[in-house]
Amino acid sequence: MKLTAAQLPALLGSIPAWRHDPARGGTITREFRFRDFAQAFGFMAQVAVQAQGSDHHPEWSNVYNRVRVTLTTHDAGGLTTKDIELARFMDRVAEALALQQPARAP
Ligand code: H2B
């Protein structure tokens, strides 16, 4: 069920790196930046498994080490708790990757 205007502020406050856009009934967007393409694609692979498992899929694009993500629930015509949960999952995966060892020099 689409989140109400009264529910949004507290939930958006829990994902401060995401930007809310009221277009299309409500979306959230974040750009992730990784060490390199391998790490960006590793992030996308982990998120893809999660998305498939929960049947909730991101809109995203990748250029080298950057992954730009927009989340919304198409079926509901706006934001739902599924978007907030997927955003939190992405934040956790990106944070874990950022803590990894630097790549070895070539
Ligand atoms: N992902 C997202 N982000 N929004 C949806 O409404 C959605 C989805 N719907 N993944 C699912 C798939 C639906 O189309 C299928 C049939 O369950």
What domains does the chain contain, in order, with CATH numbers?
25-99 (3.30.1360.20)
Angstrom distance (rounded) from CA 101 to CA 76: 40
Distance (angstroms) between ligand 1 centre and the Cα of 58 equals: 9
Instruction: State residue 105's pLDDT score.
Output: 72
| Sites in the chain below the pLDDT cut of 70 | 106
Instruction: State residue 106's pLDDT score.
Output: 67
Angstrom distance (rounded) from CA 106 to CA 5: 50
| Residue in 27, 47, 57, 82 to alter for ligand 1 test, most ligand atoms within 8 A of Cβ | 57
Instruction: Give the binding-site residues of ligand 1, using a 6 Å CB cut-off.
Output: 55-57, 73-75
Model pTM score: 0.94
Query: Tens digits of per-residue pLDDT, 60-87?
Result: 999 999 999 999 999 999 999 999 999 9
Q: How many Cβ atoms are within 10 Å of 10's Cβ, its own excluded? A: 8
Whether the CB-CB separation of 22 and 14 falls below 8 Å is answered with no
Atom of ligand 1 nearest to the CA of 76: 6
Which one-letter DSSP state was computed for residue 105? P
